[in-house]
Amino acid sequence: MSGSASTKFQDHYAILNVDPKSDSESIQAAYTKLAERYSPDNFDTGDPEKFDQINLAFEVLSDPTLRKGFDQLKGVNQNDGPSKFSGEAFFDALKQATELRAAVLCILYDRRRTQPFKPSISIRHLEHMLKVTTEELNFALWYLKQRSLVVNDDKSSLQITVDGMDYLEKNQPSAKAVLSFMKDDAVTEKAADAPAVREPVLSVLNRVLAR
């Protein structure tokens, strides 16, 4: 996927040319038709960049959880009444959003560091690792992509960029803040300390060595 496609907001409904109220069958039909047309294997109408956009759109819209999060981000089915400021809750959300973005960067940095030949992580994998809602994660990813700190690879998975690594190194978050977002099974367990040798055993060894 090209850089421009991976760092800009994508309207998945527009990409598949379907209505936001379309059911899953309509979305599947639209995807199948467009994927066949723009597949790189189609020598007449193939378009790799368009094909990647179509795959990303289908990945999101075919998953009820991801689709719900995208709908809320896009404003689908939201009331058009006058908006109101969130008050004190906004400032709590602002702090949380900053720390969540740092947590995402830490995960992707660690992935790049430990698996340099497979540095990408899917959005679904991130959701399983973090104690956040789909909406909160989508908001964080939108920002990170706009800043080109994170990009999608050719399979629509996420990976950190060099700019993202530089940003994290210059703005290192606290371990406490980052780990507060992590689910227990998403963090490598700390190696257990070796059991202490009991004093009687040490005494026996000393006597043997003294002979």
Residue appearing with tokens 């179509």 = 54
Joined together, the tokens standing for residue 86 give 């969130």
Q: Does the structure show a pLDDT above 80 at 201?
A: no
Q: Are residues 99 and 142 in the same domain?
A: yes
Output the domain CATH number for residue 94.
1.10.10
Q: Are residues 96 and 63 in the same domain?
A: no
Q: Are residues 7 and 37 in the same domain?
A: yes
Boundary (domain end) residue, out of 22, 39, 74: 74
65 located within any domain: yes
Joined together, the tokens standing for residue 22 give 């379309």
Domain span at residue 154 reads: 88-186
Closest C-alpha to 101, from 56, 149, 162: 149
38 located within any domain: yes
Q: In the beta sheet, which residues pair with residue 130?
A: 182
Residue appearing with tokens 């698996």 = 115
Confidence tier at 5 by pLDDT (50, 70, 90) = very low
Dihedral pair phi/psi, residue 2, rounded to 5°: -75, 165
Q: Are residues 11 and 48 in the same domain?
A: yes
210 located within any domain: no
Closest C-alpha to 126, from 168, 91, 95, 156: 156
Strands, E, within the chain: which ranges? 150-152, 158-160
What total number of domains does the chain contain?
2
The C-alpha atoms of residue 16 and residue 123 are separated, in whole angstroms, by: 20
Q: In the beta sheet, which residues pair with residue 152?
A: 158
103 located within any domain: yes
116 located within any domain: yes
165 located within any domain: yes
Q: Are residues 134 and 100 in the same domain?
A: yes
Boundary (domain end) residue, out of 42, 74, 106: 74
Q: Are residues 95 and 181 in the same domain?
A: yes
What pLDDT is stored for residue 65 in this prediction? 84
Q: Are residues 94 and 163 in the same domain?
A: yes
Confidence tier at 210 by pLDDT (50, 70, 90) = low
The C-alpha atoms of residue 166 and residue 151 are separated, in whole angstroms, by: 15
Boundary (domain end) residue, out of 11, 42, 74: 74
Q: Does the structure show a pLDDT above 60 at 179?
A: yes
Convert the pLDDT of each residue in 133-144 to its tens digit.
Answer: 888 998 999 999
Q: Are residues 62 and 107 in the same domain?
A: no
Q: Are residues 105 and 44 in the same domain?
A: no
Output the domain CATH number for residue 9.
1.10.287.110
207 located within any domain: no
Q: In the beta sheet, which residues pair with residue 151?
A: 159
Q: Are residues 163 and 117 in the same domain?
A: yes
Convert the pLDDT of each residue in 89-128 to its tens digit.
Answer: 889 889 999 999 999 999 999 999 999 999 999 989 999 9
- pLDDT averaged over every residue in the chain: 85
Confidence tier at 4 by pLDDT (50, 70, 90) = very low
Convert the pLDDT of each residue in 34-81 to its tens digit.
Answer: 999 999 998 889 999 999 999 999 999 998 888 888 888 877 765 555
